[in-house]
A and B are shown apart, each in its own frame.
Chain A
């Protein structure tokens, strides 16, 4: 079963607008990560937020984490056509073992 579930499944916006994607997960975690995947390519790491952090920024990206609600959001500000991609959240469950679990992703379309 998927640990992380992204919402929405797909998002279409105009260039310059902000894009917000949400991720919910089921078990307690060590950290949560966001990745981007361009069509036909491997995943690229965007940002990692640890369980004791609430917000993190990287360039035009802002990630929040609410461990009480088991949810995270990724905000991309001033979107560009080049941001068109699929975005995945991934969790490192705090259940022993060592495996990163991915959600099904959000497909973002940024129209020029």
Chain B
């Protein structure tokens, strides 16, 4: 199975600052169709995960432009600009290139 390794944040993050979350895959996530099936989610306390980014760098509909995704075939980053109170929660990456699909362990964002 593909292992997705997420980095930690230097919590707490001061409100208004930027934060970057990393996710490293044990194998290239570039699919034969040219897409990289790497999603980012935010799970707020008591809620289901909310899609932020898909195909590594495409922002989902309705998601603030403070969120951006980037990366290569195995290394990925979610950047949150000007962190706000509503951004707190746990962030997950998901790879949907190789079966079985696998998630990172999650990165918690706490606000100062």
Do chains A and B interact in one complex?
no
